[in-house]
Amino acid sequence: MTEKHMDTRPGDGLAGQRVIVTGATGFIGQRLIAALLKSGCDVTALLRTRHGAAALEQAGAKTLVCPLHPGPTLTQALDGAAALFHLAYDFRASGADNLAAFDALIKAAKDGSCKRIVHLSSAVVYDSWPNGPITEHSPITPEDVQSYRGAKVAMEQRLLQGKCDAAILQPTIVYGPGSALWTNGPLAMMRRGGIILPDPPGQCPAVHVDDVVQAALRAASSPQTGVERYLISGPDKLGWKTFFEGYARLAGCGEVRCDPAANPTPPPPPDGSTSAGPSLAGQISARLRHLVGRRRVEAAAERIRSVQARLTPPRPVMPDLAGRRLFAGQPEVSIQHAQAQIGYEPCVFFDEWVESMQNNR
């Protein structure tokens, strides 16, 4: 991988200190915990259930099953921690439920005198996403907190109005090993036949998971005080066609086609009235996971997808309207603030990552 000027171990400033991580079993959380342990941190992962706990403990982290509800257990878990890395977001629950969990966590961090919060937000909070210039000063219009974007905007506002030192990370398109949305999903799409993109396709502000982890480590050990937002994106200017063609190379199949028929209609301007709770499918999925266990439900879903793939002739698919709007977008995301304030320097180039993945197969 090509590396620009950067510290070899951006997390060294946290060595020997106790840190807390939520969302530890997610693909970003797993990479972050590995980096924190490598830096010599005393890491505790807060988990909703024991799912994934054994692997984290084997790696060297401590685990604590502690739902994000108000109470002394959560406050004691955060008492005196050098940093809280909040990565958790339950996509099977509503935005309002996720916001309630966030509120409980932030109160516990304050009551427990946690020194700094590193919160994983998203670049989607900006009104101009995914078009036009985006900086940390770009407009953000709140919307109903039942939606993902609405919940993320509300979480940021809680931190900005609070009294804890906090770094709000706003990554763009996060890809890399374990990314269901931007690695596993595109690979599966190529194996099913490929994708039809708008003509012309837009720009893809991709960022590798390890660069997001680097930003998190730097933000946690920065001398900056107060609350700051940091847009986090990758080192290269990448088009969506190039992005999906990379996955076609990895999959060894799949067509990436551009067609004006995929060009989207413009989205309506934000008006604060959007309301989007969990879908019916999401509610059913959450209930099944509660009744029979997450692993069984996910294994059954994978078997169904496998059968569907065998029965359906391979052909490129047309994304839904939201996807077509994203793939036609022309974002210009500035990372200058993160570079200047916390020394963030992205170093993973997409084409080099694809090549390394091909060489390691």
Q: Using one digit for the tens of pLDDT, what is the confidence trace for 283-310?
A: 554 555 555 555 565 566 666 656 665 6
- Residue 316 shares a structural domain with residue 218: no
User: pLDDT band for position 279 (50/70/90)?
Assistant: very low
**Structural domain of 276:** 240-323
> Does 4 map to a domain?
no
- Residue 81 shares a structural domain with residue 228: yes
- Residue 64 shares a structural domain with residue 157: yes
Over the stretch 212-271, which tens digit does the pLDDT of each residue have? Answer: 999 999 999 998 889 999 999 999 999 999 999 999 999 999 999 999 999 998 766 655
> Does 2 map to a domain?
no
> Does 150 map to a domain?
yes
Helices and strands (H, E) in the chain, number of each type: 13, 15
- Residue 28 shares a structural domain with residue 79: yes
- Residue 285 shares a structural domain with residue 213: no
| Contact criterion met (CB below 8 Å) for 84 and 117 | yes
- Residue 171 shares a structural domain with residue 78: yes
- Residue 143 shares a structural domain with residue 282: no
- Residue 23 shares a structural domain with residue 106: yes
> Does 6 map to a domain?
no
d(CA 292, CA 94): 21
- Residue 229 shares a structural domain with residue 156: yes
Q: Report how many domains make up the chain.
A: 2
**108 by DSSP, 3-state: which?**
helix
- Residue 146 shares a structural domain with residue 117: yes
322 CA to centre of own chain: 18
d(CA 131, CA 69): 37
pLDDT of residue 7: 46
Whether this model's pTM surpasses 0.85: yes
